[in-house]
Amino acid sequence: MKRLIPLLLAGACHLAAHAAGPLPAHVAGSWGSAQTVMYLQADGDGLMAGSAPPANEADNARPIIGFPVHATLDGDTLLLRPSLPNGAPVENVAMTCRYDAAAPAFTCTGPDKTPFVLHRLGATLPAEATSTIAGLKAQQNGS
C-alpha cells in the first residue's frame, strides 16, 4: 500500500475545509480489507485506496485507485465523501458505512451498492498517510 500514497498526491486532489465535529477515537485510525484501505484522522480528513484482485496468481499487477475523503459520523453511520478539486462534481459518489463495535468493523456501501467490510487495523495512521493528508491540506490552503 505504500505505493498508493504517491498516487494520491499525483491526482492533485484537494481536501475541502469542513466544520464537522471530530471523529471519536474508535472511528479514527486505519481500516482495511484485502483490497481496500481507509485512513481517517480525528478531524474527519482521510484517504481511501483500493485495488482490483490480481488477474492471476502469477501476475500481481492490478489497477489501484486512491482519493482523499472527508468523513462525518451520525450515530453508527459513517458518511464518506470524496474531497475533489474545487469545482469538481461529487454527486452520487458518497459512501455510507455502518459501524459494528463487536468486530470492530465497518460495512460500507458505495455508489454501486456493493457492500464491503473494512476491519480495524489500528488506532494510528501510517506516516505516509499522515504526510499525504497534510500535503493535500497545504495545497488547499495555498501553502
The domain spans of the chain are: 4-140
Q: How far apart are CA 69 and CA 9, in angstroms?
A: 13
Residue 103: phi and psi, rounded to 5, are -75, -45
Over the stretch 37-65, which tens digit does the pLDDT of each residue have? 999 999 999 999 988 777 666 666 777 88
Q: How far apart are CA 97 and CA 136, in angstroms?
A: 24
Task: With beta carbons less than 8 A apart as the criterion, state whether 3 and 64 touch.
Answer: yes
For the whole prediction, is pTM greater than 0.95? no
Decide if pLDDT at 84 tops 50.
Answer: yes
Over the stretch 94-134, which tens digit does the pLDDT of each residue have? 899 999 999 999 999 988 888 999 999 999 999 999 999 99
Helix (H, G, I), strand (E, B) or coil at 63: coil
C-alpha cell at 26: 474508535
Of all residues in the chain, the percent with pLDDT exceeding 90 is 52
Q: Tell which residue, 48, 45, 26, 29, has the closest CA to residue 37.
A: 48
Average pLDDT of every residue of the chain: 81
Decide if pLDDT at 11 tops 80.
Answer: no
Alpha carbon of 120 to those of 29, 127, 132, 142: distances in Å? Answer: 8, 17, 21, 33
Residue range 4-140 forms a domain whose CATH class is: mainly beta
Decide if pLDDT at 36 tops 80.
Answer: yes
Decide if pLDDT at 32 tops 70.
Answer: yes
Decide if pLDDT at 82 tops 70.
Answer: yes
Decide if pLDDT at 16 tops 70.
Answer: no
Instruction: Provide, for the chain, the percentages of residues in helix, strand and coil under a 3-state DSSP scheme, each rounded to the nearest 5.
Output: 15, 40, 50
Q: What pLDDT does residue 21 have?
A: 66
Length of the chain measured in residues: 143
Alpha carbon of 68 to those of 55, 122, 131: distances in Å? Answer: 26, 19, 12
Q: What pLDDT does residue 7 have?
A: 37
